[in-house]
Amino acid sequence: MVIKPKVRGFICTNAHPAGCAASVKEQIDYVKSQGALENAPKNVLVIGCSTGYGLASRITAAFGAEAKTLGVCFEKEPTERKTGTAGWYNTAAFHQQAEAAGLYHKTLNGDAFSHELKEQVIDLIKQDLGEIDLIVYSLASPRRTDPDTGEAYISSLKPVGDVYTTKTFDTSKKLVHEITLEPANQDEIDNTVKVMGGEDWELWIKALNEAGVLSQNCRTTAYTYIGKELTWPIYGHATIGKAKEDLDRASTALNNTYSDINLKAYVTSLKAVVTQASSAIPVMPLYISLMYQVMKDEGCHEGVIEQIYGLFNTLLLSDNPPVDEANRLRMDGVETNDDIQGKIKAIWPEVTTENFPELGDYAGYNQDFLKLFGFGFDGVDYDADVSPLADW
């Protein structure tokens, strides 16, 4: 079939296998162009390994440290008539490249929140790897089923406390306009914490430790976004921010509970980038477009792979990395500094539908968005008839 992007609101409902392979290769080439990582982990588990920051973490571990990688994701397989999800094709491409490089790679596709998936991962570790020395927790999901009660929880993207009126950019209608977001009630806050908070990260580490597959001195990190004033009402101080605060609680609990094996658990705060998860959050497409413009003008823009390679290279693998007041690793310092934020704040009130293309980098945002699904890569023939099928 000839595959062209089918964008519906903040999601693209199809993906291009050759384009996703180009995207994975671009990231691998970036990592290979950097120096080999010191203090490298040997056996790495990436939970949420198929897209965004998790995929970049897997690529960095494999191609920057020659680590064996075991991945977990939740992706849709293609059929003869329908493409798979981008994460499916990314994983197929990662496997192909890792195979060619002689690097161990296995991926389990299923619900990371379930006990069954955790057991399957543990069986694979016992069979193939023995122990794990780095666990990256990079899930982004709108729902979670509690594995003990079977109860399903849905997260909300709402302010906490007050009604919040701000500008946003509607990516379907291509309009900058005001939106008013009603605050979440307590149930919505609690449910978001249940889905995106630290409970499942703790369950993973507990299960791995009980099975005896965590190495002495092993590390784990979960990813957060903290941001600043412009995004706090919808992110940092909103329902999702409450869930992210719970990650801080979980990291402290993990460090205390597993001190016998000297586990080091960190929450890492990363820069805002275009991913499937961030595109779904109101205000973020506008904020990211303006932030990209400012950071590109200042020559300090970074994408997922630069952020994650930088994290591994400068913080995560160090023995005593610098941490903030909540023991977090910070890769978001450039985005959140007063100079960059001041420049974004100066543009914010001026932006209208008409001047958005000049004031903001929506072209860059949109290009990155399409690339998430394998569209817009040089060297890929988008008029060619390709098979949507791909296997791992």
Interaction of residue 49 with ligand NAD, rule CB under 6 A: yes
267 and 326 Cβ atoms separated by less than 8 Å: yes
Closest distance to ligand NAD from the beta carbon of 385 (Å): 28
- Contact residue for ligand NAD among 14, 27, 43, 50 (CB under 6 A): 50
Q: How far apart are CA 136 and CA 265, in angstroms?
A: 10
Nearest CB to ligand NAD, comparing residues 129 and 270: 270
Q: Which of 65, 136, 270, 283 binds ligand NAD (CB under 6 A)?
A: 270
Pairing of strands 68-73, 105-109: parallel
What does the per-residue mask of binding to ligand NAD show for 75-114, with x meaning CB under 6 A? x-----------x-----------------------xxx-
Bridge-based pairing state of the strands 214-224 and 132-137: parallel
Quickly count: other Cβ atoms within 10 Å of residue 46's Cβ: 28
Q: In the block, which residue shows the tokens 């296995």? A: 106
Spell out the residues 6+ positions from residue 198 whose beta carbon is closer than 8 angstroms to its own. Answer: 222, 246, 247, 248, 249, 250, 251, 253
Closest to ligand NAD by CB, 88 vs 215, is: 88
Considering only residues 202-261, where is the footprint of ligand NAD by CB under 6 A?
223-225
Work out whether 348 is an interface residue with ligand NAD (CB under 6 A): no
365 is catalytic: no
Residue 16's nearest CA partner among 377, 278, 280, 304 is 377
The backbone torsions φ and ψ at residue 356, rounded to the nearest 5 degrees and listed phi first, read -55, -45
Contact letters (x/-) for ligand NAD, 151-180, by CB under 6 A? ------------------------------
| Count of C-beta atoms within a 10 Å radius of residue 307 | 22
Q: Report if residue 195 touches ligand NAD, rule: CB under 6 A.
A: no
Q: Which residues are catalytic?
A: 235
Site residues, ligand NAD (CB under 6 A): 48-54, 72-75, 87, 111-113, 138-141, 223-225, 270, 272-273, 275-278
Annotated binding site for NAD(+): 48-53, 74-75, 111-112, 139-140, 244, 273-275
